[in-house]
């Protein structure tokens, strides 16, 4: 998982001061959003904003992981 920093801490993180590890806190999950994206992200030849477009409905991706008979 990449480091997700509060914008207010960017200067501290990027400064030459040693050991900014106190900035590495758990990011609140209620602010995170997940969606499937294209496998085009796997190639450095692809470098455009469309890489972040939703490639499918999340249900379509996770539905095969549900156990038979579960809701």
pLDDT by 10s per residue, the chain, length 71? 678 888 899 999 999 988 888 888 888 888 877 788 888 889 999 999 998 888 876 555 555 555 555 55
b/e sequence 22-39, b meaning 16+ C-beta within 10 Å? eeeeeeeeeeeeeeeeee
- Parse the chain into domains and list their residue ranges: 7-65
pTM of the model: 0.43
Phi/psi for 33 (5° steps) reads -135, 135
Cβ atoms of 39 and 21 closer than 8 Å:
no
The helix/strand/coil state of 54 is strand
């Amino acid at each position: 998982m990449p480091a997700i920093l509060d914008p207010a801490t960017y200067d501290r993180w990027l400064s030459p001061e040693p050991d900014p590890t106190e900035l590495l806190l758990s990011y609140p999950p209620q602010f995170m959003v997940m969606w499937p994206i294209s496998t085009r992200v796997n190639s450095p030849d692809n470098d455009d904003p469309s890489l972040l477009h939703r490639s499918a409905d999340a249900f379509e991706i996770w539905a095969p992981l549900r156990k038979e008979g579960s809701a």
